[in-house]
Amino acid sequence: MIDQDLSNNHREKKKILLVTYDLPASDRRSWSGISYSVKKELEKEFTVYDYCINVKKSFLAMIKVFYYRYVKKSNVTIRLLRPLAKTLSKTVDKISRDTKCDCVVVMGAQASGAIAYSESKVPKLFFSDCVITQAVDYYWFGVDKKVVEEYYDVQKKALINSSAVILNSNWAKAAAIDEYGTSADKITVIPLGANVEVNDFRNEHHEGINLLFNGIDWKRKGGDIAVECVEKLNKLDPASKYTLHIVGCNPPGVTDDEHIKIYGFLNRNIKEERELLDHLRENADFFILPTHAECAGIVFCEACAYGIPSITFDTGGVGDYVRNDINGYRLPVGSSAEDFAKKIIEYVSDSKKTEELQRNARHMYETELNWKVIVEKFRKLINQQI
């Protein structure tokens, strides 16, 4: 028995090739920290090789980008064009052979081309917060019909070549089934996690009600609605003194006043800025993000980590992260700033309900929305394939 245990301890780790589309997974910024967090957890069991897509590998794809962008006036991303996908698939096949990888994991919809034309028999897993058809006219606008068809064809082949498909919401799963014909048995829904580790925190005593907004894309994240919402709150419920704290950007036409505080982008790699963001979260009573388009939303996971209820729109894959009257509320798309204000006042006037939302939010982080729990599910799925 002792010899067997020693043998198991020294058994060579299985090898994973992790493919990313923007930055190497070793970079904390890769796909908003998602690829980095996955790599960090996978390395606890596997040897992980890191490959970031090189878009300059296909001259033909670069010519197509020029044609669509400047002749057809179309929005286009080179990563999902057929010529680059064919080149990348060969490259990934070669890397997996050279490294003797046991599995290829593709991170993000824009990395689909890396396995679309693969001829390797190595198991391939596709991990994404959406399928491409969901991004068109939701995140991406002004995309030529021919470009969309090419994107669709590349991703369809990638889904067919995938041994397993991991999607981050039931919204994405439904599209993969309905629009691509992917078998439901092939898909596993695993949420994203918070890119913070919050073992202990405390809510300091503070006057009034603090609303936290955290988003870089002011327009898409609905920052104007958040600003109007805090104005409505102070008119409808002046005794409570609501303050909106804006993180992530310097919004146009918005200035600091007694009800609005602007901090700009806070870099968590800088100690002082990380501590300020932590302080704002520890003192937030509600997280408000009236986002118009959201595949998942790591910020909702991070709000849960600090026990902050989230108030948002019912759009995209948000329903897997914000559950009505459990850890916050999703208002119907098209709801006004006053609708947001009335929902917040409803919770503020019921302290027991608000406390329940806070407890539930923290519980969701501890049991579902942290990377340790998430990647454990991922690791099991990988082991099933290899």
Asked whether the predicted pLDDT for residue 196 surpasses 60, the reply is yes
pLDDT value, residue 10: 47
Per residue in 111-124, pLDDT (tens digit) is 999 999 999 999 99
Q: What is the CATH number of domain 209-367?
A: 3.40.50.2000
Q: Is 382 exposed, middle or buried (0-12, 13-18, 19+ CB in 10 A)?
A: buried
This prediction's pTM: 0.91
Mean pLDDT (whole number) for 35-58: 93
Per residue in 139-192, pLDDT (tens digit) is 999 999 999 999 999 999 999 999 999 999 999 999 999 999 999 999 999 999
Residue 85 binned pLDDT confidence (cut-offs 50, 70, 90): very high
Mean pLDDT (whole number) for 241-258: 94
Q: Cα separation of 344 and 328, whole Å? A: 10
Q: Where are the alpha helices (DSSP H) in the chain?
A: 2-9, 34-42, 59-66, 82-98, 113-116, 132-135, 145-161, 170-180, 223-236, 271-282, 298-305, 337-348, 351-367, 371-385
Residue 106 binned pLDDT confidence (cut-offs 50, 70, 90): very high
Mean pLDDT (whole number) for 273-288: 94
Domains 2-193+370-385 and 209-367 share a fold: yes
Mean pLDDT (whole number) for 312-331: 98
pLDDT value, residue 198: 80
Asked whether the predicted pLDDT for residue 297 surpasses 60, the reply is yes
Asked whether the predicted pLDDT for residue 7 surpasses 80, the reply is no
51 is written with which tokens?
A: 């490959």
pLDDT value, residue 5: 38
CA atoms lying within 13 Å on the CB side of residue 211: 32
Q: Cα separation of 299 and 320, whole Å? A: 13
Asked whether the predicted pLDDT for residue 375 surpasses 50, the reply is yes
For the chain, give every domain's residue range: 2-193+370-385, 209-367
Mean pLDDT (whole number) for 340-358: 97
Asked whether the predicted pLDDT for residue 4 surpasses 90, the reply is no
Residue 201 binned pLDDT confidence (cut-offs 50, 70, 90): low
pLDDT value, residue 139: 92
Asked whether the predicted pLDDT for residue 213 surpasses 60, the reply is yes
pLDDT value, residue 57: 86
Q: Cα separation of 226 and 341, whole Å? A: 9
CATH topology of domain 2-193+370-385: Rossmann fold (3.40.50)
Asked whether the predicted pLDDT for residue 204 surpasses 50, the reply is yes
pLDDT value, residue 202: 65
pLDDT value, residue 2: 30
Residue 195 binned pLDDT confidence (cut-offs 50, 70, 90): confident
pLDDT value, residue 207: 87
pLDDT value, residue 11: 63
Arithmetic mean of pLDDT over the chain: 93
